[in-house]
Amino acid sequence: MSDGLDLFDKASLIAAHDEGHAFDAVVPPIVQTSLFTFKDYDEMIACYLGEHVRPVYSRGLNPTVRMFEEMLAKLEGAEDAIGFASGMSAISSTVLSFVEPGDRIVAVRHVYPDAFRLFGTHLRRMRIEVTYVDGRDEEAVARALPGAKLFYMESPTSWVMDTHDVAVLAALARAKGIVTVIDNSWASPIFQQPIALGVDLVIHSASKYLGGHSDVVAGVVAGSSDLVGRIRSEAYPYLGAKLSPFEAWLLIRGLRTLPIRMKAHERSALGIARRLQEHPSVETVCHPGLGNHLPPGLSGTSGLFSFIFREGVDLRRFADHLQLFKLGVSWGGHESLIVPGEIVLAQKAQPNSAVAFGISPRSVRLHVGLEGTEALWSDLEAAIAASSG
Ligand SMILES: *Cc1c(COP(=O)(O)O)cnc(C)c1O
């Protein structure tokens, strides 16, 4: 992976339709329109007959959104991609494109909590069963797969950061003709490229690293033209959770700095994780980059990880003493954030994924942002000192 990205050459739809029309602006325009008009009857009917692909209505196709989709597809090594209004709409639209009542999904345990809740509410009501397996146990995965329609992966998993051998798991599913999906939000395409590992469809919460500035909620799914086409033909237009041109434009801006941001998050988070590991008040650090080798398939690590305090640290005092780390969900932007495990465990959401998630009440999830490692470490060290004993 090079230090920079050269993604703009493949923005074919914009290039085909907008040559010379954007004043040679170095930043692409936001095509902020709901509909596109036709020159004449013949052009309109050619489009309706499918002889000519062009934007008609922004719920189906918008050039700014398309530009983001093409860039993301290229980054993931995929043939195609579709942008969504959120990571969750990318997940729900993808899953609903491949299962019907009576079908079964196999999912790795500890998936993103709202994915778990989607599976336990809407899918359950539609008589779609989800079986959870420990993705680290390849034999358990192999036993669970026969008869399933979809295999839903996430690696590393949210919070406890279990890592899986994605290539091995994908091959097990492929041998049974099961479509595989992975949530790749944590690693981003900079550190994990699941298509090359044999996964069929790659989902991102673009609200996290792809956007990278904590100002967008969006999602995307990438894969082969055939599988993405299935999502594009029904779930995308009819469920209607489209990505907006302005947010696509912010994502295009985010992608430009993705490699350097990811490397900065990696360096800073590893530095902090190693120091936490040595700290007498810390029991365990859950960070996939602390072993001698990176887990298979991962070429780097991002800024999100968790750790567990030993007994005797007051989490309320710890959280309230922090100056740079703010209390807040989500991650992937400039800001460093924490979420205390005991707050997640207190949540009333049903089904409550916190237990299924393996969250310890003494754990803290950290997102290490871009503020500077030494300042962040001083902040953490002071807060631990103020809340211990
Ligand atoms: C945030 C997140 C999602 C959901 O994405 P939204 O953009 O918030 O809908 C899905 N997966 C993971 C791993 C996430 O962190």
Sheet with 201-205, edge to edge strand ranges = 80-84, 219-223, 201-205, 179-183, 150-154, 104-108, 129-133
- Of the candidates 80, 183, 200, 365, the residue annotated as catalytic is 183
pTM for this prediction: 0.95
Distance of CA 112 to the CA centre of its chain: 9
Domain ranges of the chain: 7-256, 258-387
Is 209 considered catalytic here? no
CA distances from 247 to 86, 112, 332 (A): 10, 23, 16
Tell me the three state secondary structure of residue 61: coil
Please indicate whether the domains covering 7-256 and 258-387 agree at the CATH topology level: no
Q: For the chain, give the longest Cα–Cα distance.
A: 78
7-256 fold: Aspartate Aminotransferase; domain 2 (3.40.640)
For tokens 């999100």, name the residue: 304
Catalytic residue among 80, 112, 209, 230: 112
Confidence at residue 1, expressed as pLDDT on a 0 to 100 scale: 47
Residue 59 is a catalytic residue: yes
Residue 203 CA, ligand 1 centroid: distance in Å: 9
**Does residue 216 line the site of ligand 1, with CB under 6 A?**
no
Catalytic residue, from 59, 174, 253, 263: name it: 59
Query: Nearest to residue 306, comparing CAs of 357, 256, 355?
Result: 357
Cα separations in angstroms, 3 against 190, 368, 369: 10, 20, 19
Active site residue 41: no
Cβ burial of 205 (10 Å; 0-12, 13-18, 19+) is buried
Among 86, 111, 205, the mutation site with the greatest number of ligand 1 atoms within 8 A of its Cβ is 205
Ordered per-residue pLDDT tens for the chain, 389 residues: 456 666 655 456 655 566 556 777 888 889 999 999 999 999 999 999 989 889 999 999 999 999 999 999 999 999 999 999 999 999 999 999 999 999 999 999 999 999 999 999 999 999 999 999 999 999 999 999 999 999 999 999 988 999 999 999 999 999 999 999 999 999 999 999 999 999 999 999 999 999 999 999 999 999 999 999 999 998 999 999 999 999 999 999 999 999 999 999 999 999 999 999 999 999 999 999 999 999 999 999 999 999 999 999 999 999 999 999 999 999 999 999 999 999 988 887 766 665 567 889 999 999 999 999 999 999 999 999 999 87
Cα–Cα distance between 43 and 275 in angstroms, integer?
A: 64
Q: What is the homologous superfamily of the domain 258-387 according to CATH?
A: Aspartate Aminotransferase, domain 1 (3.90.1150.10)
pLDDT at 52: 85
User: According to the model, what pLDDT value does residue 255 have?
Assistant: 96
Which residues are CB-contacts of 282 (< 8 A; sequence separation ≥ 6)? 276, 307, 308, 309, 310, 384
Length of the chain measured in residues:
389
- The CB of 219 under 6 Å from ligand 1? The reply is yes
What contacts 266, CB < 8 A, 6 or more positions away? 191, 289, 300, 301, 302, 303
Written as six digits, the tokens of 162 are 């279990």
Nearest CA to ligand 1 atom 6: 87
Residue 70 backbone phi and psi in degrees, to 5:
-65, -40
Identify which of 40, 31, 21 has the alpha carbon closest to the alpha carbon of residue 61.
31
Q: Is 155 in the pocket of ligand 1 (CB under 6 A)?
A: no
Tell me if 207 CB under 6 Å of ligand 1: yes
